[in-house]
Structure 1
Amino acid sequence: MNTQSIFELFLKYKKVTTDTRKIEKNSIFFALKGANFNGNQFANQAIKEGAIAAIVDEKEYEDASKNIFYVNDGLTALQDVARAYRNHLKIPFIGLTGSNGKTTTKELIAATLQEKYKVHYTFGNLNNHIGVPLTILSIPSDTEIAVIEMGANHQKEIELLCTISRPDYGYITNFGKAHLEGFGGVEGVIKGKSELYDFLRTNNKTAFVNVEDKIQVEKTEDFNRITFGIHSGQYIITPIQEQSDYLAVEVNGIRIQTNLTGSYNFSNISCAIAMGQHFDLTLDQIKKGIENYTPTNHRSQIIEREHYKIVMDAYNANPSSMEASLKNFSTFEGSKTVILGDMFELGASSEEEHNNIANQAINYGFDQIYLLGQHFMKTTVTSDRIKKFENRKDFEDYVKSKFEYSDNVLIKGSHGMRLDLLTEVF
């Protein structure tokens, strides 16, 4: 079965899935394969569950009488149908990538633009070579703007995602120490993320640029860009300096009070405001969208308890985001405890980076420092304020018997550490 035939079938029903546990009636099932699964084996089940067709890439599972059709590669077929639907949609696409803050920025942009437009945006973190096609194929026909998050842990991945999503506008949140193992160092991160700029440049599209970031400015000098910043740029957004755990900004004399903590979120908020202004929202609409947004999914999330406060920032972690979280947390009033989990995908620099973070925690003067995971266990930094645990379970046992609460508790670590589950213990 060719792409055009699958696409015509898709346009009739507009439902796709790669998971037989989530089959909807008249959906198209794409059989994907991984290290530990083979979707081809579930093609018959998909049809029985109500799929209108199943797309397989192993001949033995083909059965046209049951609408089980063969293609050379199931993933490529999914991506090609997504490309066809993207070209079918005549609406602006905004593409986002970066080392830190992608998901928060995406949600802030969507929350803002939704005050005027029907917006469809990446759900959760479905931002890879499978998630981006699924996101595009889930866009309703009445959508007016699409916001697509693109993640990557190696070079050429953003390039691929751009060929699928074909963004009209792009924004790179920052270039930091994330996925160093796959990218081959910070320079590799810059090159890999800048594949978004390469696409925008080649296709005469437009980048949103934070003028406070020298790399963004340098990489976009030779093509269309929309700029924003504190002191310069087409859109000026000013941080309001005050003693508060939550960020506030000012735009043209209008105060916008956010539900976000951390100065590192200022650029994320600024981008959403700049996009709102570019897409002709009023400042009142922008203010309402930003102020109504509350972070979830354990990203810069403040959880109030009766006698203490938890800053849950455990969705992910790398040296750049860890450093920013520690710096922000150091400004909180009262006693402070940090619970830090391992950072993954750092390759040869892992030992150095974990030691750096442990040192920073000591230098900020936090009252108690708990380091969790195999990488932090290997750190050589010593202090009577540091306690190390091989895993989360060992720390949970400690919490139940000996943990002393501070006024403020920061929880930060890579998602694989699942430190978000500590909220149940606390």
Structure 2
Amino acid sequence: MCRKIFEGKIREMNLTLADIKKLKGSIVFNDESFNSIKNVSIDSRKVQKGDLFFAIKGDNFDGHEFINSVLRKGAIGVVISKEHLSKFKNLKSFFVVVDDTILSLGELANIYRKKFKVKTIAITGSNGKTTTKEMIAKVLSQKFHVLKTEGNLNNHIGVPLTLFRLNKRHEVAVIEMGMNHSGELTRLCEIAEPDFGCITNIGHAHTEFFEGIEGIAKAKGEVFVYLARTNGFGIVNSDDKRVKLNSRKLINKLSFGFTGNADVKGKFIGLNSIGNPRVIFSYKNHSMSVDLKTVGRHSSYNAICAAAFGFKFGVPFRKIKAALESYSSFEKRMQVIKNDGLTILNDSYNANPSSMQAAFETLKLMNGFERKIAAVGDMLELGKESKKFHGELANYAADAKVDYLFCFGDLTKHTVHRARELNLKTFKFNSKKKLVEKINSVLIKNSILLIKGSRKMKMEEILESIKA
């Protein structure tokens, strides 16, 4: 019987006044007004009666501007930074002053996490974190009550908010962890205290903030460093040489891969007409074939990682197979859209060089179409290597035998330059309206269109204007 993946709000949290007073450098005011905490919130719009509100300064808003509003809504108290104390020193409600509200949010999340005997899994990597996390949660929910990260709330704010959703029924927590600077994963591990972890892969993402791929590898490897130090368990992608290198100090580990001598072995059989992979997974003396609903050969790695976790956690083979075969991709993540003779691969959620290469490889393997078209947007945060990586997109398009390559954004000028050297039919636009008009002009029946770009490019906006 499948256990539920619990996503709901906790009715009452086991957080005490003593827990609040443990926050480093905290000063508590009006503690006689303290009452039971029903939830921890950072969004003033969503505050409900009984919530403890952390005032966090973001890019667009400062939570300190909404203190009076959240208290009127019934928040039991607020956590503010010291620099704002003078504004709120006359508050009658319970409030706490700390040096840094974001750091204190993480501290309190760690205090809360320690109250539960829950097996916690950390998932990171350059590509496939969210899909892998979702697949793992689906597999493990066949046997356990599972908490998982919602969407991709995977940073120093998202991880604490996920942990605050723990309740006594949870047996496993699957926590996605992202980073774009060194040290961030160490901090997230200190907050979540994972017992298990996986690095899906290591590729060229956020290279603007690192000294090359080795810098990225070292930063991603912080998860395995933490697990080695705490006698944790690693699930290791042995096909990725940098992941494998990072796993050397792990005493407890299980490897997976499609090449070499992995513990969990995969065999790629092929893709069907809409790009869904068929694979065979083998572990010890057992094998199973799996027909995935995800798109692209690369999604087989997400699935074999989830299967490896299933094997480690004792989920029966038939239930692992059923979970993986019933999993469908999220919107904007290799999402297949069929529209009156047009097939769209909507992979617009995000992009980096590795995921772009995987997307074009998928397009290459999808045969039987009269015309292959790709619309790509800028890949951001690539720093000094941006020109090279954008140029390589044209190579991927040529290899996939793309008939038309459409580019959007300033950085894709490097894609266009290389594409013209390769005699590809290429067009570049800085207006999505003009981009869509040109795409519509070349669409014929039985075309396939790939759409992909970095999140800030919002390439999904062209979808509603595409005409089959």
Q: Does the pair score TM above 0.5? A: yes
Name the residue aligned to 2:11. none
Partners of 1:215 and 1:187 lie apart in 2 by 8
Provide TM-score, normalisation by structure 1: 0.94
Shift of residue 306 of structure 1?
Answer: 1.9
Structure 1, residues 102-130: CA drift from partner, whole Å, max 9, x if none? 00100010111111111111111110111
Name the residue aligned to 1:158. 185
Q: Alpha carbons of 1:56 and 1:128: their partners in 2 closer, same or farther (altered >3 Å)? A: same
Range that drifts further, 160-169 or 67-76? 67-76
Partners of 1:136 and 1:398 lie apart in 2 by 47
Structure 1, residues 255-302: CA drift from partner, whole Å, max 9, x if none? 211111111111110010111111111111111111111111311111
Shift of residue 398 of structure 1?
Answer: 3.6
Partners of 1:353 and 1:373 lie apart in 2 by 14
Could you tell me which of 375, 384, 390 is aligned with 2:411? 375
Q: Alpha carbons of 1:6 and 1:110: their partners in 2 closer, same or farther (altered >3 Å)? A: farther
Name the residue aligned to 1:413. 453
Is 2:199 aligned against 1:172? yes
Structure 1, residues 326-369: CA drift from partner, whole Å, max 9, x if none? 11211111221111111000111111211111233134321111
1:29-40 equivalences in 2 (<5 Å): 29-40=53-64
CA RMSD, Structure 1 to Structure 2 (Å): 2.2
Is 2:20 aligned against 1:5? yes
Question: What secondary structure sits across from 1:302 in the alignment?
Answer: strand
Could you tell me which of 60, 69, 77 is aligned with 1:45? 69
1:157-306 equivalences in 2 (<5 Å): 157-223=184-250, 224-230=252-258, 232-241=261-270, 243-244=272-273, 245-251=275-281, 252-306=286-340
Question: What secondary structure sits across from 2:349 in the alignment?
Answer: coil
Partners of 1:82 and 1:228 lie apart in 2 by 32
Is 2:27 aligned against 1:27? no
Partners of 1:242 and 1:105 lie apart in 2 by 19
Range that drifts further, 77-86 or 356-365? 356-365
Partners of 2:236 and 2:424 lie apart in 1 by 44
Partners of 2:109 and 2:311 lie apart in 1 by 30
Shift of residue 226 of structure 1?
Answer: 1.2
Name the residue aligned to 1:366. 402
Partners of 2:424 and 2:110 lie apart in 1 by 57
Question: What secondary structure sits across from 2:92 in the alignment?
Answer: helix
Name the residue aligned to 2:108. 81
| Aligned AA (1:341) | G
Provide TM-score, normalisation by structure 2: 0.86
Partners of 1:337 and 1:305 lie apart in 2 by 15
Question: What secondary structure sits across from 2:450 in the alignment?
Answer: strand
Shift of residue 409 of structure 1?
Answer: 0.8
> Conserved in 2, the CA contact under 8 Å of 1:2 and 1:71?
no
Name the residue aligned to 1:132. 159
Range that drifts further, 130-139 or 63-72? 63-72
Question: What secondary structure sits across from 2:309 in the alignment?
Answer: helix
Partners of 2:170 and 2:47 lie apart in 1 by 23
Partners of 1:422 and 1:139 lie apart in 2 by 39
Q: Alpha carbons of 1:292 and 1:11: their partners in 2 closer, same or farther (altered >3 Å)? A: farther
Name the residue aligned to 2:351. 317
Shift of residue 39 of structure 1?
Answer: 1.0
Gap runs ≥5 in structure 2: 1-15, 24-30
> Conserved in 2, the CA contact under 8 Å of 1:3 and 1:80?
no
Q: Percent identity?
A: 35
Partners of 1:366 and 1:124 lie apart in 2 by 32
| Aligned AA (1:187) | E
Partners of 2:450 and 2:166 lie apart in 1 by 37
Name the residue aligned to 2:13. none
Is 2:404 aligned against 1:404? no
| Aligned AA (1:396) | V
Could you tell me which of 54, 58, 61 is aligned with 2:78? 54
> Conserved in 1, the CA contact under 8 Å of 2:225 and 2:249?
no
Structure 1, residues 184-230: CA drift from partner, whole Å, max 9, x if none? 32111101101111101111111101222222222212322112233
Range that drifts further, 273-282 or 55-64? 55-64
Partners of 1:351 and 1:190 lie apart in 2 by 22
Shift of residue 318 of structure 1?
Answer: 0.6
Q: Alpha carbons of 1:297 and 1:241: their partners in 2 closer, same or farther (altered >3 Å)? A: closer
> Conserved in 2, the CA contact under 8 Å of 1:211 and 1:228?
yes
Gap runs ≥5 in structure 1: none
Partners of 2:202 and 2:89 lie apart in 1 by 45
Partners of 1:89 and 1:7 lie apart in 2 by 18
Shift of residue 378 of structure 1?
Answer: 4.6
